[in-house]
Each structure stands twice: as C-alpha cells, then as structure tokens.
Structure 1
Amino acid sequence: MMQDLHRVLSTYWQQFLYVLPKLLIAIVLLVVAVFIANRASALLGGRLRRRSHDPLLPDFLARLSKWAMVLLGLMVALNVLGFSGIVGSLVGAAGVSAFIVGFAFKDIAENFLAGVILAFNRPFHINDTVEIKGLIGHVEALNLRTTLMRTFDGKHIFLPNSLVLKEPLINYTRDGNLRQEFTVTVDLGPDATPDQAINIILNYLRTIPDIQQTPRAPYINLEKAGNTTADLRVYFWADSDDYRRGVLQLKSRVMQEVKQELVGAGLGVPALGQ
C-alpha cells in the first residue's frame, strides 16, 4: 500500500512540475491583463468624460471595458493551461447561457443587460432627482448591477438595474422646469372679492426672482367661492436643477409669504393646502 501511495504522489508531483511553467505563465498573463484593464479603463473613462457633460455613460463604459479585458485575460490564461474546451464553451452562446443558468447568475445577467440599456437610453443623468417605486433621491452612480441613489435624508439605496428599467421612473430635473401648486383659502369678509385676492397673490409672485415669469407666468384658478370665502389654486414654475432647494424649499417659502401678504391686506387665511 505504501508503494502505491508513493507511486501516486510521485505521479502527481511530476504532473505538477509539468504544469508549473504553464501555471506561472497563466498567472503572469492574468496579472498583466488586470493591470492593462485598469489603465485602459481609466484612460477611456477620462477621454469620454472630457467629451461628455454627464459622467454616467463614460463611467459605465469604463467599467464595462475593464471587466471585458479581465475576462479576455482569464480566457487566455485558461487556454495556456490547456483548458481550451472551457474557453470555447464560454465564447459560444450556448456555453455562456449554460454557464449563467448553471451557476444561478440569471439575476446578475439581467441586471447587467439592464445597466447597458440604461447607460445608452439614459432616462437620467448623474445628480438628477428621480422617483422610483415611491423612493425619491439623487442619482449618484450607475454600476454594472445596481443604480445608486441617495435620498434627501442621506440614505444610500442600491436599486437593481432591472428594477429601474421595468418600473415607471419620474425624473424631476430632466427638463430643468417644474410646476408647483398649492391651495389657499381666503376669508374675504363683506367687502373684498376673489379678484382682489388673486391680484394680491399675483403681484407678490411677480416679485420673486426664483419664480419663472416668461414664458411660464404664474396664474391662479378660483376653485370654490362661498359667501365670504374663496378657495384659490396657485400655480407657478420653478427651476428644478436643485430639486430640494429650487422647488421644495421655494414652495414652502412662497406659501408662508402668500399668507403674510393676504393677512397684511386685511384678508383672513384660514387654511393652506397642497
């Protein structure tokens, strides 16, 4: 038995010595491929960023090229080791499909393909404010598998690219303009009319630099009129590049100051609403 064990170990050792040069060459090739992939992706990303106003697509293409070159280096290393059959199966479409399904990478492949579509379709840019499935925040990055979004309270949310592609996506900042509205209930008293309250509000809105005047001028609709009260719907357009400051905070300030203007003119404001 000891002679058989010695013969088996000796055979394995001889096989290892035979494979060792190929193994060393394969490791060197893989290390070189990773080094070239990092340098080439950085160079490609830098050139694309200089030609693009939005870093989303350049960053995605740089990552994609990096992993493509690493995969190519891995295939060359496998070929040096004599695993040409594995390389051929990976290159073939059937082999790739079997590889993905066999190792339960279906979701990863789906998210990767969705990321490619999002990178070229570009429903959003970096720092755009978007809403997906009730989640609102700034887009910070598009990775090979996930889309990174940061909410206004500082939370980082990693959304699968397939989810972002399939679900309805609301982009609040794509066009740079967004209409805001709110309702104000005015107590007119015995003498005032709804038109007087409307003119007071419009005159105030025309003095705010952050509210667009042309071609989208603010306007007001009379939604309900009682004996002494009127419900007015106020509409105005704002710059949405900075959604939180240019839209949400502006709307809050306008609502407060509209109330002050009406009270200062002798009119009551029993209610303000969305």
Structure 2
Amino acid sequence: MATGKDRQKQLAREHHERQMARRIEREQKAKRTAIIGSTVGVVVVVGGIVGAVALLNGGDTPTDAAASPQPSASTSESASATPAAAPKGFDAKTSTCDYAADTAGGVVKDVGKPPAKVSVKPATKTLTFATSQGDIVVELNNAKAPCTVNSLEFLAKKKYYDGSKCHRLGSDQFPMLQCGDPTAKADGKSQTDGQGGPGYVMAEENLQGATYKRGVMAMAKTSAPGSTGSQFFLVYGDTGLPAQYTPVGTITKGLDILDKVNKAGVITPGPDGTGAPKETVEIKHVTISGKS
C-alpha cells in the first residue's frame, strides 16, 4: 500500500506534468504569428509553433526557424489566424494598395494604415535600421514590392519600430533573425513575443522566383495568404524556404552584425533550437530614403 508520503510525491509529479503541458500549450499559441513555409518535404515557421501539413518524417513540423519532426499544434489553430477578407495585391492601373484589417487577434500597436496610393518610383529605396549593435542597411525593391515598401516607410515615419527588439534568432537550418514585433520583450521568457502587429495586413509581393539566401530581407506571415504585417526576417545564411514571403530587399551593410548575433546564440532554445538572441538587437530608429 502506498504511504501518505508516496501519495504526496505522486501528486506533486502529476502537478508538475500538468504545468509543463500547459506551458507547452501557451508557447504554441503565443508564437503562432510569424512565417510559415510549407513544401512537400518541409514546413517552416519563424516566430511560432503552428500546425502545418505534411511532412518531414511524416508528421507535423513545428519550427520557429527550422524544420523539426516534433508534434505541433493542430491545423485548426493556424486556420484561426486567417483574415476575414484577404487583401488584394497592388493595382497597377490605379497605383493603389489594399491594407485590410487584421482579424487574427494578437497585440496591436495601432498607428493607423498606410496611404493606399503608392508609386513604384524610385525603383529602389534605402532603409537603415539604427540598432544597438550598429547600422543595418537594406536596399528595398520598391518597383517589385511597392505596397510592402510603402508600409515600411509609413511605419518608420510613425516611429513604430523605435525601441523594438528582434525577438527570435534562427537555427543552422534556417539562419535568420526575426524582428518587427513592437511589443516583444526578447528576454527568453515572454510568452507573447511574435504576436505584435500594426492591426493591418497586406498581400504578399515579388514572389516569382523568390529565394531566401544570405542577405535577403523578407516579410513574416502566417499560413494564410495576405497575412503580411510588420514583422520581417533578416537572412544571414542560405535557406530552403518556399516562395511565400515577400522578399522586400537586400542587406548591403550589417551582415557582420547578424553573424555576431548568431555566434552568441539564444537565451533559452526552443525544441527547434531557436529563441531570443543573447546579443540583444534593439531597433533605435528606422529611416527610409530614395530619389527618383
């Protein structure tokens, strides 16, 4: 017969197991906002563990920045992030963009919506992230991603990114640093990092032939089409992501900063090896310039 002390130990163990199960569930829900890539052989998620289709080793693959044959949340969770009405892409006839309300939930830093009227000139613009680690400079492809560039420029003018921290560092399989959640703590403890956004979403752009190799800046999204918001990822290696995330520009300065941050590693690695970087990258200010 079990003693009272044995029973106490059993109850304590069961309590601990329930706590761990709840913690895993919270992490899965908290980190769903990011990028999800799916191919026949791989599903990639930056910034969240979400359900997906298919795949490597015959199971759902939860990753924040790398494929990993671990169980993940159900597909119904990612489906709940689908906007009520997906925004339309750039209308070349009217030179307008569609920015739709984001109905997926999450934490919103509301600064309004960008103006619908845009211009594809100049063809390129220069974005500078003044960060705590130094300047990261990106040549934006305004000609092929005008709605995205217009959104970035609008958010920069509203100081939306000022004071925000890059919240997720990738892995060897998917080497990238994800930023753009103005509410992220990036302390290795927060359960809501990756949920922040501007309250609007837009269609993906510039996807034909898109690749995500070292030096690319691309926009994060959920599994739903037309779910691009304010979050983005900076690639410091070569990845095999499918062409689903707007490649908005090319990093022309600051790859050494990303390499340094990558070398330092993460604070608390998740199941896929990703997490908040030990070397904090805080965006102090963002400027975008360009001449016709």
Interval of TM-score (by shorter of Structure 1 and Structure 2): under 0.3
Task: State the TM-score, normalized to the length of structure 2.
Answer: 0.22
Q: If the length of structure 1 is used for normalisation, what is the TM-score?
A: 0.23
- Structure with higher Rg: it is 1
- The structure with higher relative contact order (CA 8 Å, sep 6+) is 2
